[in-house]
Structure 1
Amino acid sequence: MSSPSLTLTVWAGSWLSGHASPDDVIDALHEWAPLHLVGAHDAAAASAADVPEHRVVDGAARLLALVRRIDTTAGAGLQLVLPAPGDVRALPAGTAFAAAALAAGEGVVVGAPGNPGLGLVPTIEGPDVLRWSVFALSTVPENPVDGGLGAAEFAIREAVRDAASALNGIPTVGTDGRRADPRAEIAEEVAALARHRCPASLPPRAIRILDTADQVAAILTVASRGTGMRAGSASGAAGREVALQPLWAAVREARVGAVAAALRAEHNH
């Protein structure tokens, strides 16, 4: 699992479809932080979500109450969003939720497309605290990534191929001038993501896509981090940056597509 928003989406979807318990969802969320705070962005959100406007409430269980409060049609009304600059699909334009989700790089939309709903955005509040801001949405947008598991798997396979060819052509050396071996750092990134487990009810193909996306993301993270490494030349650094942007987009698309298809499959199972 790559983000708290992805964890909430898949586990809440599994719970709404009858494949997981509320405690399962809460346990999965607590892997991100032992304390979750929930607060309304404004009066409209406070009214829609039944949470205080000017203070936060404690507990991941409140997130489940919010999800249950909105008509989600047993998981079909949960939508993961992973926006980035230049890629704001599925965000309601001009809203406070869109701005917050873009700043965080993630969010969850709760509600059936075309109907009023809620937007949830997590942010780190402290070393052991995750705060979820709740936004009222007048209309839930359609999910633009809806090609099914086949399209998601194709996208991430293409990203694996392109990542290998693009990054292999860029010389990477350590800050001391010696060649660096990033394999240990990549393994650490993958292990950190693997700590956040998927519901057993998710289709095996969806889990495979999410695992592959995590592996590609780990490679891209290490390649762009620059910890102990630098591109061998200015042109190499620029080339690496250009190469990474579409690969990150492919990772986001694969994750969103796999989650959307998995929720549909669970609902119909």
Structure 2
Amino acid sequence: MHPDSPISTTLVAWGNAWLTGHAGLDDAVDRLERAGGPQVVSSGGTEVTLRSYLADLRVEGMSALRLSLPASGDPLGLTGPPPFTMAAVEAGEAATAVLPQRCVGLVPSPDRRGSSYAGVRWTAMEASVTPPDVPALPEAEHALTTAMRSATEALLTVEGPDQSHPSLPRSATEGLAPGYPARAHRVAALTARLAAAVRFARERGLSSTQIHTRAEALRDLDRAIRRARVAAHNSVLDPRHSPRP
């Protein structure tokens, strides 16, 4: 799982593309396996492939997947219960499957077996049916723009020994899946690039004063990035932002 591109974003984007008829289940799972290797789900003491698990949830009436990108002190996209919230915050990400009478939280973790097998294990947990309080896409985009300006002004005063501009990983330049509105595609692509840029900025060597200035700027920007990313991925659930036929 790449720190700049959480695997939950891929599950939510391509899972919703499948649920809305813009992609097949095989397409969605193939994208996930391309991003993170083999995918399995641990549920109730049993282990099944993600493909089978999603198909079963669909039969049960799953209508959507919601993205959560929480951080310590900021449970973005989560409404409990505590075990799911704690697991998602520790992982820094989660997806929630929305069903008619319940919700299922899916928390990813690395799944390594031996020297050659590397994939993703999703732990299925009970999730609250209460919708999370997350910003709408226009609001999140505006907040992101404001945070970018503030961070740029602060970071221009901070110079460290490493002034290089490394290229972004491919995972940080991929957009959403089919079926999302154009605005969501634009915001998602921008947040992926910014998340990579924030990580690069944090890795530069600085003095203690510079570190404090940088930390404040990047903390606010990181929060705006996470909120905009969640808004973009969840926008397919909002009829106001559905793509026009």
| TM-score, with length taken from structure 1 | 0.79
Matched, 1:182 2:168: no
Query: Could you tell me how far apart the structure 2 residues matched to 1:209 and 1:103 are?
Result: 25
- CA-based RMSD of the aligned residues comes to 2.3
Name the stretch that deviates more: 3-12 or 100-109.
3-12
Counterpart secondary structure, 1:28: helix
Matched, 1:230 2:205: yes
Counterpart secondary structure, 1:188: coil
Counterpart selection for 2:213 from 222, 239, 258:
239
Matched, 1:28 2:15: no
The Cα shift of 1:94 comes to: 4.9
The Cα shift of 1:201 comes to: 2.3
Query: Could you tell me how far apart the structure 1 residues matched to 2:59 and 2:83 are?
Result: 21
The Cα shift of 1:66 comes to: 4.7
Name the stretch that deviates more: 80-89 or 61-70.
61-70
Query: Could you tell me how far apart the structure 1 residues matched to 2:195 and 2:93 are?
Result: 15
The Cα shift of 1:203 comes to: 1.5
Aligned to 2:129: 140
Query: Could you tell me how far apart the structure 2 residues matched to 1:202 and 1:10 are?
Result: 8
**8 A contact 1:217–1:248 mirrored in 2:** yes
| Deviations 1:114-155, CA, capped at 9 Å, x for gaps | x42110001112262100000023x322121142x3212212
The Cα shift of 1:263 comes to: 3.6
Counterpart secondary structure, 1:124: strand
**8 A contact 2:143–2:224 mirrored in 1:** yes
**8 A contact 1:28–1:197 mirrored in 2:** no
Query: Could you tell me how far apart the structure 1 residues matched to 2:14 and 2:125 are?
Result: 21
Query: Could you tell me how far apart the structure 2 residues matched to 1:71 and 1:210 are?
Result: 27
Aligned to 1:13: 16
The Cα shift of 1:168 comes to: 1.2
Query: Could you tell me how far apart the structure 2 residues matched to 1:133 and 1:70 are?
Result: 19
Aligned to 1:176: none
- Alpha-carbon spacing, 1:157–1:141, altered in 2? closer, same or farther (3 Å): same
1:1-269 equivalences in 2 (<5 Å): 2-40=5-43, 46=44, 53=45, 55-57=46-48, 59-73=49-63, 75=64, 78-111=65-98, 115-126=101-112, 128-137=118-127, 139-147=128-136, 149-173=137-161, 180-184=162-166, 187-189=167-169, 191-194=170-173, 196-224=174-202, 226=203, 229-231=204-206, 233-264=207-238, 265-266=241-242
Query: Could you tell me how far apart the structure 2 residues matched to 1:31 and 1:236 are?
Result: 39
How many residues are treated as equivalent by the alignment? Answer: 236
Query: Could you tell me how far apart the structure 2 residues matched to 1:240 and 1:260 are?
Result: 30
Counterpart secondary structure, 2:36: coil
The Cα shift of 1:182 comes to: 3.0
> What letter corresponds to residue 68 of structure 1 in structure 2?
R
Query: Could you tell me how far apart the structure 2 residues matched to 1:66 and 1:155 are?
Result: 38
Q: Where in structure 1 are there 5+ consecutive unaligned residues? A: 41-45, 47-52, 174-179
**8 A contact 1:36–1:131 mirrored in 2:** yes
Q: Where in structure 2 are there 5+ consecutive unaligned residues? A: none
Aligned to 1:177: none
Query: Could you tell me how far apart the structure 1 residues matched to 2:138 and 2:39 are?
Result: 35
- Alpha-carbon spacing, 1:122–1:243, altered in 2? closer, same or farther (3 Å): same
| Deviations 1:66-104, CA, capped at 9 Å, x for gaps | 54145333x3xx211100011014323452111110000
| Deviations 1:186-239, CA, capped at 9 Å, x for gaps | x234x3322x55223222211110111112112110011x2xx301x2111122
Counterpart secondary structure, 1:136: strand
